Amino acid sequence: ELQNWKAAIVLDFEVTIAGKTYTVYVIMGVDRTGNLSVLGIYLCEGKADEAFWLKVLSHLRSIRGIGSLGLLIHDGENAIINPMARIFPNDELLDIAGYADEAAYRRARYNALSTVTDQPESVLAELEAFESEMLELLVQEYETTEAVQTVLDPIRSSVCF
């Protein structure tokens, strides 16, 4: 049976590995009851292109067994648009990039979440706490991608569905 989500949120975190910039992408799902779960964690050198997102979304569909992401909330990830239309053609995208300050960005996230759950404040608080933990984990420079994967593995193993 395929898993269907009310929403998915793309989080991105920069990490330095052996002097190069990588991006850790975390896809979080929001279920019918407003629970937040890690759907996947992916490492990309630099910023993601369409080929990267095609692999990620295909992995979520075929390996993770996700039938629908519902509303995919992202922050300026334009390279996700075509792969999303191909892999999850019935789902929607919402770009919340471009807000001038943190308060406006938080309101945009809150408004997006309020369309899929009656508990947007608690989902947003949980999401922000997760982001804070991830930032603390990824603040240092790593020598190898394996070192970063070792840090991310416990988070991957806590996937909740």
| CB-CB contact of 142 with 131 (8 Å) | no
Contact 24, 134 (CB under 8 A): yes
Confidence check: pLDDT of 157 > 80: no
Tell me what the mean pLDDT of segment 58-78 comes to: 94
Q: Is the pLDDT of residue 60 over 50?
A: yes
Segment 64-73 mean pLDDT = 95
- Mean pLDDT for the chain? 91
pLDDT digits (tens, 9 = 90+) for 70-96: 999 999 999 999 999 999 999 999 999
Residue predicted with more confidence, 47 or 84:
84
| pLDDT tens-place string over residues 127-138 | 999 999 999 989
Pairing mode, strands 20-30 and 66-68: unpaired
pLDDT average, residue stretch 54-80: 95
Query: pLDDT tier at 154 (50, 70, 90 boundaries)?
Result: confident
Q: What percent of the chain has pLDDT over 90?
A: 78
pLDDT exceeds cutoff 90 at 161: no
Q: Assess whether pLDDT exceeds 70 at residue 159.
A: no
Burial call 84-119: b when 16+ CB within 10 Å, e when fewer: beebbeebebeebeeeeeeeeeeebbeebbeebbee
| Pairwise CA distance, residues 148 & 143, whole Å | 8
Q: What is the pLDDT of residue 47?
A: 84
Which of 8-17, 81-90, 151-160 is the least confident region?
A: 151-160
